[in-house]
Amino acid sequence: MSIPDFQSLMLPLMKFAADQREHASRETADYLAQAFQLSDAEREEMLSSGQQTIFDNRVYWGIAHLKRAGLIESTRRGFFRITPRGQQILQQPPTKIDIRFLKQFPEYRQFIAPKRDKTANEEGAETITSHTPMELLEGSYQSIRQELAQELLNQVKKSSPAFFERLVVDLLLRMGYGGSRVDAGEAIGRSGDEGIDGTIKEDRLGLDTIYIQAKRWGERTVGRPDIMQFVGALSGKNAKKGVYITTSTFSDEAREFVNRNIGSTVVLIDGKMLAELMIDFNVGVFRVASYEIKKINNDYFNEV
């Protein structure tokens, strides 16, 4: 089954805490994962930031909302216990505990009041908050990133062959290849077919060499024959490593050929990946804003 949203976790979480014992957040996450019969893959699925699993993030926010409503309370760092109010609620358990249910408690209404969109209706507001704040933030970030990547790729496709050559060199340098800018410029020369075709140092010491081919193509797909020709060129130069860069896409047959090729290591970079690398290594883009996500340092408040 799919990973439940954090509102769906609230009632099972309360029933787990009904024994009035102190429970650890980690223990609770394990219990809920079993209750919802999540697979290992679902348990391990990460937020786009790679800092936390989606499920653990949703358990965290389920606990946070129940605390704000006064149904559970923190006992110490990473532990909680059901409150008398929570016990009273479970005497006649509701069919569901969600944001709508929690709004009956004044503390919770005060908690969510600043975050509500006054122009949105009740149903719309609750649909939005079915995701955790971290999921909303990361979803917005990914949306902005995807739009930027597409805009970048469109710009690259409209650029001249000479500009595309400089762009690839700049990107490889930012990624740590090529040594100096002068070395990289000398190592890669124009092929005369709207691309570049040459070699670049793998590291600053030049311990190994990477053979590069790049094609600034529009919609033409790079097929298996193109890659076979590239691999043949590697063999002719006694090279073991190559990178094929295109602004378009690679066919499934081309990717399969690379995966099965054992004579050399070839990396394929299509237009989508090229744009993402440009964003990651700040080529053709600049930072507009940055936001820090912080959490309370409970150790600071431990009194000796």
Count CA atoms closer than 13 A to 52's CA, side-chain side. 14
Q: Is the pTM of this model over 0.75?
A: no
**Cα–Cα distance, 70 to 204 (Å, whole number):** 59
The answer to whether residues 239 and 211 touch, using CB atoms and an 8 Å cutoff, is yes
pLDDT in tens, 156-181: 998 888 888 889 888 988 998 876 66
Residue range 48-66: mean pLDDT, rounded: 90
Query: Between vectors from CA 31 to CA 25 and to CA 34, what angle results, nearest 5°?
Result: 140
Please give the Cα distance from 58 to 3 (Å, whole number).
9
What is the model's pLDDT at position 199?
Answer: 79
Pairing of strands 209-215, 241-246: parallel
C-alpha–C-alpha distance, residues 226 and 217, integer Å: 13
Does the structure show a pLDDT above 90 at 205? no
Closest CA to 9 of 71, 53, 75, 62: 62
Asked, colleague to colleague, whether 10-131 and 153-280 share their fold, the answer is no
- Quickly state the pLDDT bin for 243 (edges 50, 70, 90): very high
pLDDT at res. 232? 87
**Average pLDDT in the chain:** 85
pLDDT above 70 for 187: no
Residue 188: what pLDDT?
Answer: 55
More confident residue, 52 or 196: 52
The reported pLDDT for the residue numbered 192 is 43
Q: Which pair of structure tokens corresponds to residue 269?
A: 């970079």
Residue 152 pLDDT > 90 = yes
Query: Could you write out the DSSP letters of every residue in 60-108?
Result: HHHHHHHHHTTSEEEEETTEEEE-HHHHHHHHS--S--SHHHHTTSHHH
Architecture field, domain 10-131: Orthogonal Bundle (1.10)
Q: What is the pLDDT of residue 246?
A: 93
Q: Which CATH architecture fits 153-280?
A: 3-Layer(aba) Sandwich (3.40)
CA pair distance 234, 210, nearest whole angstrom: 9
What is the C-alpha separation between 180 and 187, in angstroms, rounded?
11
Mean pLDDT calculated for residue range 66-73: 95
Structural domain spans, the chain: 10-131, 153-280
pLDDT digits (tens, 9 = 90+) for 106-150: 999 888 875 544 444 444 444 445 678 888 788 788 878 888 999
Residues 228-247: b if buried by 16+ CB within 10 A, e if exposed: eebbeebeeeebebbbbbbb
Q: Binning pLDDT at 50, 70 and 90, where does residue 98 land?
A: very high
Dihedral in degrees, nearest 10, Cα atoms 143, 148, 151, 155: -160
Q: Can you give the pLDDT at residue 293? A: 80
Cα–Cα distance between 98 and 123 in angstroms, integer?
A: 12
Q: Does residue 92 carry a pLDDT above 60? A: yes
248-302 pLDDT tens trace = 999 999 999 999 877 778 999 999 999 999 999 999 998 877 778 887 777 777 6
- H/E element holding 141? helix 133-158
- Output the CA torsion sign for 243, 248, 254, 260: positive
Arithmetic mean of pLDDT, 30-35: 96
